[in-house]
């Protein structure tokens, strides 16, 4: 199914910014930038040049030296310093060649906007918009993944390069940021779009539900999960649910119940392998030291957490602590040899459920033992 389309009587844009156009009078290419046509008189061009030169001279303040003086870790500020030095050099010399990358970025943004406006993207039966997932959703979370949590990914080769797979993970952190970080890890390290099985709450709220569906989530039910697996997707489930997500800080990295093994029955019915996933680092981003049950019931939420920063610091309490994360994907547990009838055998389902849970718990303990620091790994 295609996205919404608009009847545009004229094509979008003309030449790409910076490419210019051909002047009919002189039969030569004319630059098209913020100043438009630059074929005016020589006197006007000279005067504009003088104005620009005076402006650049007055603006030059050695930005690189200012940034160098900031009392912040050098490694963190390296990209900022590089950009500052580039701008400083450009202001000093008038050489704007460094802006070529900016033109590419502007053009890429224009192409993205044009695709969204004209409906040039596909939406599947679950509402998944791969273009939105790749070009809008993942870029929103990738800075957290790379620079805030500095996620280390282990075992990405265990995710099937093609075909179905059911990823089963521990769940914690008060807010489900582990789901977003796992989505980025699977896409960037295994080249697959992760389809999330989300709780009822996420799929019913007016703001989160449309975004969740476009980003690849669907309701956590056996029917949807089995259809996704049969279609060859990589699907993720968090069997602990809200009990894991909202457990007290004192119980961190201790897995809660995995339910009755519905996820195993779904994998057996579809003949899909199960990939255990263990996330270390998510448990400390919002240390939950208490909750307010009455307020949670009033708002219709599973819990209303109390952390050292929330609600004391208000909105600032929503900023997660910059813990160092490790996401490890374990070896797949094959199910195809058991046949779909095994989904109706409670003993088989219980045995595999216990195996998955034990694998995740042992991996958590192992990665915790090798972690030197919560914030630096």
| pLDDT, tens only, 106-140 | 666 667 777 777 777 788 899 999 999 998 899 99
- Per the CB < 8 A criterion, the answer to whether 327 and 185 are in contact is yes
**Three-state secondary structure of 221-290:** CHHHHHHHHHCCCEEEECCCHHHHHCCCHHHCCCCCCCCCCHHHHHHHHHCCCEEEEEEECHHHCCCCCE
Residue range 126-285+320-370 in CATH 3.40.1130.10: yes
Whether pLDDT at 289 is above 70: yes
Q: Residue ranges per domain, the chain?
A: 48-116, 126-285+320-370
Q: Inform me whether the pLDDT recorded for 306 exceeds 60.
A: yes
Q: Answer for the pair 304, 296: CB distance below 8 angstroms, yes or no.
A: yes
Tens of pLDDT along 224-267?
A: 999 999 999 999 999 998 889 999 999 999 999 888 889 999 99
Query: Average pLDDT in the 149-157 region?
Result: 97
Question: Residue range 298-309: average pLDDT?
Answer: 91
Q: For residue 204, what pLDDT is reported?
A: 84
The rounded percent of the chain whose pLDDT value lies above 90 is 55
Q: Which of 156, 190, 333, 154 is nearest to 261 (CA)?
A: 333
Residues linked to residue 237 through DSSP beta bridges, in sequence order: 168
Q: What is the pLDDT of residue 207?
A: 80
Q: According to the model, what pLDDT value does residue 21 have? A: 44
Q: Is the full-model pTM beyond 0.85?
A: no
Confidence grade of residue 143 (pLDDT, cut at 50, 70, 90): very high
Give the pLDDT score at 203: 85
Question: What's the pLDDT tens digit per position in 218-235?
Answer: 988 989 999 999 999 999
- Mean pLDDT for all residues in the chain: 80
Confidence at 53, pLDDT banded by 50, 70, 90? low
CA distance 142 to 134: 11
| pLDDT value, residue 48 | 55
């Amino acid at each position: 199914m295609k996205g919404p389309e608009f009847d545009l009587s004229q094509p979008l844009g003309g030449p790409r910014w910076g490419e210019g156009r051909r002047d009919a009078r002189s039969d030569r290419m004319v630059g098209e930038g913020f100043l438009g046509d630059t074929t005016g008189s020589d006197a006007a061009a000279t005067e504009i040049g003088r104005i620009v030169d005076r402006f650049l001279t007055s603006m030059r303040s050695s930005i690189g030296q200012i940034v160098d003086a900031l009392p912040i870790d050098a490694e963190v500020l390296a990209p900022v310093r590089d950009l500052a030095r580039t701008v400083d050099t450009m202001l000093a010399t008038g050489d704007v060649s460094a802006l070529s990358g900016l033109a590419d970025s502007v053009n890429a943004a224009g192409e993205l906007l044009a695709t969204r406006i004209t409906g040039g993207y596909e939406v599947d039966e679950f509402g998944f918009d791969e273009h939105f997932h790749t070009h809008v959703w993942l870029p929103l979370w990738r800075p957290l993944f790379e620079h805030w949590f500095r996620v280390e990914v282990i075992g990405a080769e265990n995710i099937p390069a093609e075909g179905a797979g059911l990823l089963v993970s521990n769940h914690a952190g008060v807010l489900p940021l582990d789901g977003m970080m796992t989505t980025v890890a699977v896409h960037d390290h295994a080249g697959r779009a992760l389809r999330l099985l989300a709780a009822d709450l996420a799929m019913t709220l007016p703001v989160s539900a449309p975004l969740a569906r476009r980003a690849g989530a669907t309701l956590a039910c056996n029917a949807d999960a089995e259809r996704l697996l049969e279609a060859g997707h990589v699907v993720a489930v968090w069997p602990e649910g809200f009990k894991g997500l909202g457990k007290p800080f004192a119980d961190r990295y201790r897995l809660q119940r995995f339910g009755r093994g519905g996820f195993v029955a779904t994998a057996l019915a579809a003949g899909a392998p199960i990939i255990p996933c263990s996330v270390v680092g998510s448990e400390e981003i919002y240390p939950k030291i208490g909750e307010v049950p009455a307020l949670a019931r009033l708002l219709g939420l599973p819990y209303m957490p109390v952390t050292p920063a929330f609600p004391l610091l208000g909105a600032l309490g929503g900023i997660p602590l910059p813990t160092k994360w490790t996401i490890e994907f374990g070896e797949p547990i094959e199910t195809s040899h058991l046949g779909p009838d095994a989904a109706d055998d409670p003993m088989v389902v219980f045995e595999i459920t216990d195996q998955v849970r034990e694998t995740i718990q042992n991996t958590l303990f192992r990665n915790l033992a090798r972690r030197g620091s919560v914030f630096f790994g």
